[in-house]
Amino acid sequence: MLTSGGRQADLLGDLSALTRRALLKWIRNPAAVLPGFFTALFYIALFGNSFNPTGIVPSNINGFQLTSSELEEVKTAILSQTFGGAATYISYLTAGIICLILVFNMAFGGIDLVLDRQLGFLNTILAAPISRASIYFSGVIQNMVKAMALGFITFAVAILLPNGLMLGKGFGVVDFVGAFGALALLAFALSCVFTALALSVKSIDSLVAIVNFATFPLVFTSTALFPAADFPSWLKAISNFNPITKACNAARLLMINGMLSSSQQISFGWDLAYLAAFAVAMGVVGYLAANKALAPR
Amino acid sequence: MRRLMGSIIEADKLSKLYPPKTKAVDGVSFNVEEGEVFGFLGPNGAGKTTTIKMLTTLASITSGTAKVAGFDVKHESARVRESIGVVPQELTADDELKGVENLMLLGKLHHVPQSEMKEKARELLRLFDLEEASERRVRTYSGGMRRRLQMAMGLVHSPKILFMDEPTLGLDIQTRTKVWEYIKKLNVSGLSVFMTTHYLEEADSLCRRVAIIDHGVIKVLDTPARLKERLGGNVLILEVSNGVDLSEFLRTIPTVSDVSRDGHMYKIKLPKTEDAIPAIVDGITSRGLKITQISFLKPTLDEVFLEVTGRTMREEEGEAQESWVQNVNIGRSSS
Ligand SMILES: Nc1ncnc2c1ncn2[C@@H]1O[C@H](COP(=O)(O)OP(=O)(O)OP(=O)(O)O)[C@@H](O)[C@H]1O
Ligand SMILES: [Mg+2]
């Protein structure tokens, strides 16, 4: 329903008013922003060190002692063969952690929308002559902006950490835009799904239940934390279709390599196309679901 | 009150079924005239909020039809939304925004031009005594301030009709009186109002007509005066110092409909007006008699409500309200 009465409803005006309100609330509440920074730090530092696969290479195998230079070689080989040539495990991990943060923030970002319904704010705006689409898209955008901000923070933290993210040679502005473009497509698609979900449920409890049920399989069937090479074949198949895999593979390719070879460019292009198609599909599905959820009951 | 024109609300056999079988509203029909303050009264769970939700496009209509500001609620909901202001039962202003920001947001969502909106916000903040608090976050507002802000939010776009669901709930007497003044002021400037309330004296003083709804059905609909009249009207009770029979004299007064005597006590029915009281008192004292006690019983909407719903608002509210006997004890002597 894009028209409001005789005149064209001001979709962009409504959208910006609603989005502005949500982001104003967010910025004004440091309790909501600050933990994001620490979450990013913990994820990177904790996963980066405790999961670090190169840290578990033994220097002594059945009495055979590796010299420290041999040990370094083994570690480098692991990184280059299994982890796409990343200089450090954190270099591999960063894109995955950003995806993880996107997923969880997107999923729980819906709580604000459920609160809007519970506190009656939603009814107040529903009684106004605004297009229902602006309510849905403002939900999508506010969630996306909040989560992407944390994504940028995570990226910065990873770079600043000692032995952290070592960007590939020649990584420039275009690569940055490319990497975060892929992540933003994922963020948009997930935001559409979770916004529609949040507009449809009546209570925070049911939102949290569904989110918990949905997010873990989504994350752990992806290559966010580990490459697919060692996955069993069924998992590999699932992982291949998982948009999180596509987004973190695309972002990771750029972060690790900087300049892409032509075959890498093709692989990046396919991932991006997949993500764009997924984003459009989720946008439409979410829109239809949200329209239903916002109709008078 | 403004001169009345057409109907601003036309509800025809409006019903709402909450599955599986809660008939929240069961075929109500009524018209609200343009420029009128219309009161919707009823005990808890009677269906007042549900009716408002249907009329303001927030709840679907199970059966029946409704027109608001000339537009069909079901099929022209966008047009209806342009014409209405809503002050819901709950407080829905955004806690984290300032008072003025809440108003500006609502103005934007109603497509009021920015320049106009600034002026409008100032005007409303002044009207509702919120000027000083306007730059504070709503989180820091008292309950009364929130209610007033909520009313202001319903008015940012100068609606044709304002729906208010218990606008004075939880307000102290002073604030409540002030809100009545606002409503009267707005009505004088042309606003039609549809309101629900638990306070019957509020309905009595504000509403041109009231409907009493119970179990989703409208039981009576009329002006407060006529509803009270149906209960038999006002009664004047007098005690006179001497046993002389005054019945003949009292019956000669035109607005007196009935007189009964019990010794020194007289029970005088004055169904329409109390204007005759001075004449009665003068007549008695000029006969050299003393009035030793006088009380005036004026039925209120409470009695109407009791008769119609079988419950008093007191039972509903669990709070004591003043007795309907206005005892005007003028003492032992009247000279
Ligand atoms: N969303 C809902 N789902 C199911 N039943 C509902 C819903 N909303 C209201 N009801 C029921 O409909 C009936 C009418 O409720 P409504 O809120 O309209 O009453 P009300 O007259 O506004 O009461 P109050 O004075 O307490 O505000 C009640 O029995 C209530 O339980
Ligand atoms: Mg109610």
B24 close to ligand 1 (CB < 6 Angstrom):
yes
- pLDDT of amino acid B47: 95
Ligand 1 close to Cβ of residue B42 (< 6 A): yes
pLDDT band of B316, cuts 50, 70, 90: low
- CA count, 13 A, side-chain hemisphere, B138: 22
pLDDT band at residue B313 under the 50/70/90 scheme: low
Query: Quick one: pLDDT at residue B5?
Result: 58
Confidence at residue A247, expressed as pLDDT on a 0 to 100 scale: 95
In the prediction, which pLDDT does A180 show?
A: 95
Among candidate residues B307, B229, B305, B253, the one with its CA nearest the CA of residue B43: B305
pLDDT in tens, A179-203: 999 999 999 999 999 999 999 999 9
Q: Note whether B223 and B237 are same-domain residues.
A: no
Are residues B61 and B154 both part of a single domain? yes
Residues of B in contact with A28 (CB under 8 A): 96
- For residue A9, what pLDDT band results from cuts at 50, 70 and 90? low
Tell me which of A228 and B318 has the higher pLDDT. Answer: A228
Atom of ligand 1 at shortest range from CA of B46: 21
The two tokens of residue B142 are: 């008292």
Any idea which ligand is nearest the CA of B21?
1
pLDDT tens digits, residue range A130-179?
Answer: 999 999 999 999 999 999 999 999 999 888 888 788 888 888 899 999 99
Residue B328 belongs to some domain of the structure:
no
Higher pLDDT, A92 or B108: B108
The number of the ligand nearest the C-alpha atom of B17 reads: 1
Whether residues B138 and B180 share a domain: the answer is: yes
In a domain, B172, yes or no: yes
CATH number at residue B172: 3.40.50.300
| Cα B154 to ligand 2 centre (Å) | 17
Answer whether A8 touches B (CB < 8 Å).
Answer: no
Q: pLDDT confidence of B331, banded at 50, 70, 90?
A: very low
* Residue B284 neighbours by CB under 8 Å, 6+ apart: B238, B240, B246, B291, B334
Question: Would residue B289 count as lying in a domain?
Answer: yes
| Residue B135 at interface with chain A, using a CB cutoff of 8 Å | no
CB A218 within 8 A of CB A186: no
| Pair (B148, B266) in one structural domain | no
Judgement on whether residues B251 and B264 belong to the same structural domain of the protein: yes
Judgement on whether residues B202 and B244 belong to the same structural domain of the protein: no
Which residue of chain B is at minimal alpha-carbon distance from A5?
B79
Q: Write down the pLDDT at residue B117.
A: 93
Indicate the burial class of B320 (C-beta count within 10 angstroms; 0-12, 13-18, 19 or more): exposed
Is residue B203 included in any domain, yes or no?
yes
Give A182→chain B minimum CA distance, Å.
33
Is A23 in CB contact (< 8 Å) with chain B? no
Chain A residues in contact with B58 (beta carbon < 8 A): 123, 126-127, 296
Residue B2 falls inside a structural domain: no
Q: How many domains does chain B have?
A: 2
Answer yes or no: do B88 and A130 touch at CB < 8 A: no
Ligand 1: atom nearest CA of B52 is 18
Residue with CA nearest ligand 1 atom 24: B44
**Phi, psi angle pair for B323, to nearest 5°:** -65, 155
Task: Please tell me if the CB atom of residue B50 comes closer than 6 angstroms to any atom of ligand 1.
Answer: yes
Same-domain check for residues B222 and B265: no
Query: How far does the CA of residue B63 sit from the closest CA of chain A (Å)?
Result: 13
- Whether the per-residue pLDDT at A99 is higher than 50: the answer is yes
B269 and B159 belong to one structural domain: no
Q: What pLDDT is attached to residue B126?
A: 92
Question: pLDDT tens-digit profile of A37-96?
Answer: 788 888 888 777 766 677 777 777 787 887 878 877 777 777 777 777 777 888 888 999
Closest C-alpha among A204, A200, A189, A207 to residue A291: A200
Question: Average pLDDT of chain B?
Answer: 86
Q: Which ligand 1 atom minimizes the distance to the CA of B43? A: 25
Task: Report residue B66: phi and psi, to 5°.
Answer: -145, 140
Q: Give the pLDDT confidence of B12-55 residue by residue, as tens digits.
A: 999 999 999 899 999 999 999 999 999 999 989 999 999 999 99
C-alpha to C-alpha distances, A69 to A76, A253, B1, nearest whole angstrom:
10, 28, 95
**Ligand 1 pocket check for B45: Cβ under 6 Å:** yes
Distance (Å, whole) CA A257 – CA A174: 13
B111 and B187, same structural domain? yes
For residue B76, which residues of chain A lie inside 8 Å, CB to CB? Answer: 5
Pick the residue whose CA is nearest to atom 5 on ligand 1. B18
Residue located nearest, by CA, to atom 29 of ligand 1:
B45
Whichever domain contains B282, its CATH number is 3.30.70
> At residue B181, does pLDDT exceed 80?
yes
User: B85 CA to chain A: closest CA distance, Å?
Assistant: 8
For chain A, what is the largest distance between any 2 Cα atoms, rounded to a whole number of angstroms?
85
pLDDT for B134 beyond 80:
yes
Q: Of the candidates B86, B90, B101, which has its C-beta nearest A127's C-beta?
A: B86
Q: What is the pTM of this model?
A: 0.83
B127 vs B102, more confident: B102
Each as own residue / partner, the long-range contacts of residues B272-279 (CB below 8 Å, 24 or more positions apart, any chain) are: B272/B229, B272/B233, B273/B234, B274/B234, B274/B236, B274/B298, B277/B236, B279/B253
CA distance A259 to chain B (A): 46
pLDDT for residue B122 is more than 60: yes
Residues of the domain holding B264: 232-297
Residue A8 has pLDDT above 70, yes or no: no
Do B188 and B272 have their domain in common?
no
How far apart are the C-alpha atoms of A195 and A180, rounded to whole Å? Answer: 21
Which residue, by CA, sits nearest to atom 3 of ligand 1?
A: B18
- A132 contacts on B by Cβ (under 8 Å): none
Please determine, for residue B75, whether its predicted confidence score (pLDDT) is greater than 80: yes
Picking from B54, B95, B108 by the largest number of A CB atoms within 10 A of its own CB, the best residue to mutate is B108
Of B167, B193, B160, the C-alpha closest to B81 is B160
Task: Tell me which of B26, B50, B90 to substitute to probe ligand 1's pocket, judged by most ligand atoms within 8 Å of the beta carbon.
Answer: B50
Q: Does A133 touch chain B if contact means CB atoms closer than 8 Å?
A: no
Does residue B190 belong to any structural domain of this protein? yes
What pLDDT is recorded for position A51?
Answer: 67
Over residues A277-295, the pLDDT tens digits come to 999 999 999 999 999 999 9
**Domain identity same for B75 and B203:** yes
Structural domain contains residue B326: no
What CA–CA distances, in Å, run from A245 to A95, A96, A218, A228, B180?
A: 10, 8, 10, 9, 62
Cβ separation A127–B56 shorter than 8 A = yes
What is the nearest CA distance from A121 to chain B, expressed in angstroms? 5
pLDDT tier at B335, thresholds 50, 70, 90: very low
Instruction: Centre a 10 Å sphere on the Cβ of residue B11 and count the other Cβ atoms it contains.
Output: 24
Ligand 1 neighbour B49 (Cβ under 6 A): yes
Q: What pLDDT sits at residue B267?
A: 84
In this prediction the ipTM stands at 0.84
- Among A116-130, A190-204, B265-279, the minimum mean pLDDT is found in B265-279
The answer to whether the Cβ–Cβ distance between A29 and B82 falls below 8 Å is no
Q: Do B106 and A13 touch (CB under 8 A)?
A: no
- Which residues of A fall within a CB distance of 8 Å from B86? 123-124, 127
Asked if B153 has any chain A CB less than 8 Å from its own CB, the reply is yes
Domain-embedded: residue B1: no
B22 lines ligand 1 (CB under 6 A): yes
Ligand 1 geometric centre to CA of B49 (Å)? 7
Both B129 and B278 in one domain: the answer is no
Return the higher-pLDDT residue of B233 and B225: B225
In chain A, residues with a C-beta closer than 8 Å to the C-beta of B147 are none
Whether residues B96 and A24 touch (CB distance < 8 A) is answered with: yes
Give me the residue from A28, A129, A297 closest to B81, CB to CB: A129
